[in-house]
Amino acid sequence: MKKLPDRFADLEPFVAEWALSNERDRFLHQMATSIEALRAFYDAMAPRAEEIADYLKTFDLAALPDEERTLFDLLITFVECAHPIELNWKATDIDDAFPPERMGFGDASCKPQI
């Protein structure tokens, strides 16, 4: 199982589900997740996001150690999935939106970031 740096260990319950390394996986997971589950993740991450970003700034992002890489993936997922909560959506997938299963993702979106 992926681990986080000790000072962020309280966020480890979210790692398996939310520490996603590429844009495609983050988008599809958000669309398939209930607004309640997304809110739980958002509520855990929002108070820590700035602290996490400040911590990660002390590392070379191109050569992150494993625990910091997991933390980075968790933070990027939070940033990309925050809008439904911040815009007070009732669901993560809008009924008349373009179907996610029909979306095409380029190679860069399917690979780990950085």
Summarize pLDDT for 41-64 with one digit per residue, the tens.
999 999 999 999 999 999 998 899
For residue 105, pLDDT over 60 is answered with no
What is the per-residue pLDDT for 92?
A: 73
Q: What pLDDT score does 67 carry?
A: 97
Distance CA 35, CA 90 (A): 7
> In this predicted model, what pLDDT tens digit does every residue of 9-46 receive, in sequence order?
999 999 999 999 888 888 888 888 999 999 999 999 99
What are the φ and ψ backbone dihedral angles of 72, each rounded to 5 degrees?
Answer: -60, -45
Question: Quick check: pTM over 0.85?
Answer: no
Average pLDDT of the segment spanning 105-112: 56
